Amino acid sequence: MAEEFKPIETQEELDKIITTRLKRERESTEKKFEGWISPEDHQKGLDELNKAFSDYKETHKDDEKTIADLTAQNKAYETASLKSRIAHEVGLSFEWIDRIKGDDEKSIRADAESIKKLVGNGSNLLPLRRSEKNPEDDKDAGLKSLLSSIKTD
């Protein structure tokens, strides 16, 4: 049956009972949280993660600037390509491409058409071939000049 109640008469008996109960409770708690990380280990891991994150941020601190630069450069290339295409469609010579203003297709097209009205039919179009011959390119230049001088006499 049940044990009979025995009154505690000395401080040593009380300390022994409390120590036994605390030991039992500690073992129960340790068993319950077995496999969990201790607060010291948790703090150590957190410090390692913070250091790794700081190192990563230091390594990649210029990435945002690089991305912004590359984005701006890409936009400039796209705008230049758009200006070239629209200038070709409108009939402007390549000399006028740098003078076209605008940020979007609509404003670029409007500016290209207004330049086209001012310039006219594009007398500054690139020639299809060289119309003048370079005397250095012609092997028979001396013979041709001799022949032309004989014919005129």
Query: In this predicted model, what pLDDT tens digit does every residue of 79-135 receive, in sequence order?
Result: 999 999 999 999 888 888 889 998 889 999 999 999 888 887 555 555 565 566 665
Of residues 1 and 14, the one with the higher pLDDT is 14
Interior CA angle at 60 toward 56 and 64, to 5°?
140
Kindly state the DSSP code that residue 86 receives in the 8-state scheme: H
Neighbour-count burial for 70-105, b at 16+ CB within 10 Å, e otherwise: eeeeeeeeebeebbeebbeebebeeebbeebebeee
Lookup: tokens for 20: 């036994």
pLDDT at residue number 96: 87
Q: Do the beta carbons of residue 85 and residue 105 sit within 8 Å?
A: no
Query: 3-state class of 135 per DSSP?
Result: coil
Q: Token pair of 25, please?
A: 């409770």
Residue 121 has what pLDDT? Answer: 58
Q: Please enumerate, as own/partner, the contacts of 132-140 that have beta carbons within 8 Å and a separation of 24 or more.
A: none
Segment 35-57, tens digit of pLDDT: 887 888 889 999 999 999 999 98
